[in-house]
A and B are shown apart, each in its own frame.
Chain A
Amino acid sequence: MLAVSPLRNTAAAKDESQEQMESYSSIFNGEFPDFSDGNLLESIDFDDLFVSIDDEQVLPNLEMDPEILAEFSVSGSGGEESDVNTSVSNEKVEDNIHDRKDEEDRFSGSGLDSKILSERDESVVVNPVLPDKYGEKGRKSSAHAKNNSNQGRKKVKVDWTPELHRRFVQAVEQLGVDKAVPSRILELMGIDCLTRHNIASHLQKYRSHRKHLQAREAEAANWSQRRQMYGAAAAGGGGKRDISAWHALTMGFPPITRPMHHHFRPLHVWGHPSMDQSHMWPKHLAHSPSPPRPLPPPPTWHPPPPPPPDPSYWHHHPHVRVPNGITPGTPCFPQPLATRFPAPPVPGIPPYAMYKVDPGIGLQTAGHPGHSPLVDFQPSKESVDAVIGDVLSKPWLPLPLGLKAPATDSVLVELQKQGVPKIPPSFA
């Protein structure tokens, strides 16, 4: 931490500041600010602050927020520190830096803003990436070599903001990823504070990240195929109601689809932790098994109807696949699936797979291969079939949506109007 930290506020504490400034005279190279007009900030040449600090040892190579850095650089500029104190834009900083060039070595009697100082306090150890980034070439006057990475003395970290990265990507795509040469990229980007070296290393990262993404997309395709196979094997999942609910959840849960499109857009915001979508997926997955809708049990539980007088009533649909072939030991498919999703090596895949394949998962009766294409988010015939079969064979199961049932009488009356005298219709 820089010793300067205790420097406090403005006009009121000027004397104090002055004292402290005096004590740091060695740091300031004996130059004294005149604190008369309360603009200490302007007079501080942060270069000089760093002068006594050994380049290599004391200041670690930290990546820094341009805003914080900007506040450093602003110190030498004239009268703009109030803006800078809060949120400094890059442009402002550039201006300030250019202004600073004039006053570099001088303390022109400006007061130091406490806020800046306090922030400086925290971040003071950062290396002056700033000058390099913003084209500050004027710090030559200080003995501070590290500021001038332009001169190739020291590798200064570039902060790849989304804007910067976007321009980079634009340039790369213009040239063609494989043919993109750092020097050309640099030209296309037209930012003179970037060195070819910065571009080169960023390009390397970009390329490797793209490869990684492409590998993941390939995985996604594999996963979806595998899901279909699993769907066939699962064979109705032992007839648990959860299947349809699970299915319903994924089918009727719109938000799942959107993040997936977003995820596969290449490198849109790569490099920024807040946008690391691989962290997002598990959350989505974790949520999806938990029903967004109130699930079956109590509300509309109908007591099991007395055994129908016509037993064939329930079994007269020969073509309906009733999953009787499923042994009780058949695992309930949705659960293992649910736990599996967060686990796969490529976290981004499962929702995609779910999106693609889900209608077929766990809803296919035994013996029916899951070969449905399932490209779109459409119910496959097999899954519909399976669900219907389920309902037919297990009438006691609760209603998935729990809609208010119509009065039997009114239905019957309506049906008679339509020419259906009685139900169930007697056909074999």
Chain B
Amino acid sequence: MGDDSSASYIHMVHHLIEECIIFNMSKEECMEALSKHANIKPVITSTVWKELEKENKEFFEAYEKRREEKAVQEGDKSTGSKT
């Protein structure tokens, strides 16, 4: 029983993290967003994120790379927090 809800919860966090990735967020930004909007403890977000990273290494590597490039591109324009 507890497993089910845990699994569901993890799945939900996973889903939310994917959405954050669509927003091109960093892990930290994601933690903040989920904590703020979904009341998910940052540690949980961070853990699930890391686990996802382990399972999807290539994706996350590419993702990071893209983010870096974008950050460089938009470095002078960006006014918000874009880590």
Contacts and interface: CB of A to CB of B under 8 A. Distances in A.
Interface of A: 244, 247-248, 251-252, 254, 302, 305-306, 308-310, 313, 316-317, 319-320, 359, 375-379, 383-385, 387-389, 391-392, 395, 397, 399-401, 403-408, 410-412, 414-415, 418-420, 422-425, 427
A395 B12 contact: yes
The 6 closest A-B pairs by CB, nearest first: A406-B51, A248-B22, A379-B23, A388-B37, A404-B55, A424-B9
Given A251-B22, A420-B44, A412 B6 contact: yes
Contacts of A247: 22
Interface residues of B, number: 48
Nearest to B6: A423
A375 B82 CA distance: 14
Contact of B6 (A317, A391, A408): A408
A308 B8 CA distance: 8
A251 B38 contact: no
12 contacts: A305-B11, A377-B74, A379-B23, A384-B33, A391-B15, A392-B12, A392-B16, A403-B14, A404-B56, A405-B11, A411-B10, A420-B43
B22 A384 contact: no
A242 B75 CA distance: 30
A403 B52 contact: yes
Contacts of A375: 79
B65 interface: no
Interface in B25-65: 25, 33-34, 37-39, 41, 43-44, 47-48, 50-52, 54-56, 59
B51 A376 contact: no
Contacts of A317: 37-39
Given A320-B38, A414-B47, A306 B4 contact: yes
Contact of A424 (B5, B15, B52): B5
A305 B51 contact: no
A248 to B, nearest CB: 4
Contacts of B19: 244, 387-388, 391, 400
Nearest to A378: B80
B22 A401 contact: yes
Contact of A399 (B6, B15, B78): B15
B28 to A, nearest CB: 14
B24 to A, nearest CB: 6
A391 B16 contact: yes
Contacts of A406: 10, 14, 48, 51-52, 54-55
A415 B18 CA distance: 19
Nearest to B70: A254
Given A302-B11, A313-B9, A412-B10, 20 more contacts: A248-B22, A251-B23, A305-B8, A306-B4, A308-B8, A317-B39, A319-B37, A376-B78, A377-B74, A384-B20, A388-B38, A395-B8, A400-B19, A403-B14, A403-B18, A403-B56, A404-B56, A414-B51, A415-B44, A423-B10
